[in-house]
Amino acid sequence: MTFKKIFLFSFIFGMSFLCFSPAKAFSISPLKYTISLDPNDSKDLVVTVKNDSNVKKEYEAVVAGIQQDNLGRSIIKSNSDIAENWIKYQNKKINISSGESGDLIFTINIPKNVLPGAHYIAIGAQEKNKESVGSQLMTIVVIHIAGTVNESLVLEKFATNKKYYLNKKFNFLLQLKNTGNIDLTLNGKLEIYNFKNNIVNSSQINLGNKLFSQSNRTANFSPIFTNKILWPGWYRTLVVVDYGLTQQQIVGGTNFWYLPVWFLSVVIALLVLIILFFVIRKNKHEKTG
């Protein structure tokens, strides 16, 4: 193939890639609000929508709640937080020309008798046309209702996955629930003690981002023993979780047996030798008798 043909082929391939690359439809700002309000207060929040397409588009305001799954991932879901009902639209729809921006204004009205606590919602825009509803982009809103803060964490379960281990690949399951009215930071530590009550392992455990109020968190983790001798026997394990601004602490415990393969092999070999000893001894007695 000549240089001229190679150049022509590359030019056509590159132009086709540009022509068929999908263009970003729109963008919003800001990406997050964190606000504190008293009962019976109200506040306007503005979401700025920019039309990044090359045609005029219509955008509609949307509101949804935010939940956390057991692993701490945020899930946007309608009708999942009562605070969704506190939102009113100043303008439900806007039309924006190509390359221009427009504002969607959301008014939050806090009820008079609402209890203190934290609420998590998402406000934003979705693209609309005659045929269908397009994609959505959302701004995260964390609402703190003023009042007495209650930081409360419940340890629902802490256990080892097995009671007997043949190697040092120990696995633990931890389940927590935030029963307070505000989100909690979590810091965890795992400690393992031998039968003499001497500590043989201390390691930090990752419990993820903040735990929402009335949400659950599940964590699976394994301590790391790097070139460290661990003798066979019974071990006791403690998990210590510090939580919240007040750094309260919650502790859980479990235990397990560590019986490595080499140890079991030695035990079996000794049993075989003992059995052989008695068999040989018995045969000798029978012959002499």
> 69: how many CB neighbours lie within 10 A of its CB?
12
Beta strands 199-205; 248-258: pairing state? unpaired
pLDDT of residue 271: 81
Residue 63 DSSP SS3? strand
pLDDT of residue 287: 66
* 60 within 8 A of 126, measured Cβ to Cβ: yes
C-alpha 119/C-alpha 181 separation (Å) is 9
Structure tokens at 50: 């920019």
Q: What's the half-sphere exposure (Cβ side, CA atoms, 13 Å) at 120?
A: 17
* 117 within 8 A of 181, measured Cβ to Cβ: yes
Structure tokens at 179: 């029963």
* Mean pLDDT, all residues of the chain: 86
Give the range among 28-37, 127-136, 258-267 with minimum mean pLDDT.
127-136
Predicted confidence (pLDDT) at residue 229 exceeds the cutoff of 80 = no
Dump pLDDT digits (tens) for 121-178.
999 999 987 555 568 899 999 999 998 889 999 999 999 999 999 988 999 999 999 9
pTM of the model: 0.74
Structure tokens at 158: 């802490």
Predicted confidence (pLDDT) at residue 20 exceeds the cutoff of 50 = no
C-alpha 205/C-alpha 16 separation (Å) is 49
What's the chain's Rg over C-alpha atoms?
Answer: 32
Between 103 and 223, the higher pLDDT residue: 103
Confidence of residue 24 (pLDDT cuts 50, 70, 90): low
